[in-house]
Amino acid sequence: MFVHLPHRVIIQHESRSLFQGGAYTTSWITDSTEWANCQTSNKNYETYDNGKKQQYTSWNLKMRYSSSITNKKRIIFGSHTLHIETVSDPTSRGKVVQVTCREENT
């Protein structure tokens, strides 16, 4: 099965550091750079979190299989920061994963 992967993306995980006052600071650490096929749905969605309206755009990516890609990570694609929602192996053959992401619109 050949999958065209024309885009370069960066996979990152979150790192938290605790300060003396009990506050945390969050930073993102690069795990790897991968090839992917990135497509936006061109649809904007709205959700409400604690009464605050949030808008986001849905993205679908296809990538080579890696067990390290989870919904606890994010993907950087050019100027887009994509938060991973789901990762699935549509063929169950361990060759390609389909990743659904959301990009929060500010």
- DSSP secondary structure, 27-66, as one string: EEEEEEEEEEEEEEEEEEEEEEETTEEEEEEEEEEEEE--
Domains of the chain (ranges; CATH) run 7-105 (2.40.10.270)
pLDDT score, position 24? 86
Long-range contacts of 93-97, Cβ-Cβ distance < 8 Å, separation of 24 or more? 93/1, 94/65, 95/1, 95/64, 95/65, 96/1, 96/3, 96/62, 96/63, 96/64, 96/65, 97/62, 97/63, 97/64, 97/65, 97/66, 97/69
> Which residue do the tokens 């979150």 mark?
14
Higher per-residue confidence, 24 vs 9: 9
Whether 48 and 54 have beta carbons less than 8 Å apart is answered as yes
Task: Please return the burial class of 38, using the count of CB atoms within 10 Å of its CB with bins 0-12, 13-18 and 19+.
Answer: buried
Query: What pTM value is reported for the model?
Result: 0.83
pLDDT band at 3 (very low <50, low <70, confident <90, very high): confident
Calculate mean pLDDT across residues 90-104.
89
72-86 residue pLDDT tens: 999 999 999 999 999
27-61 residue pLDDT tens: 999 999 999 999 998 777 777 777 777 788 999 99
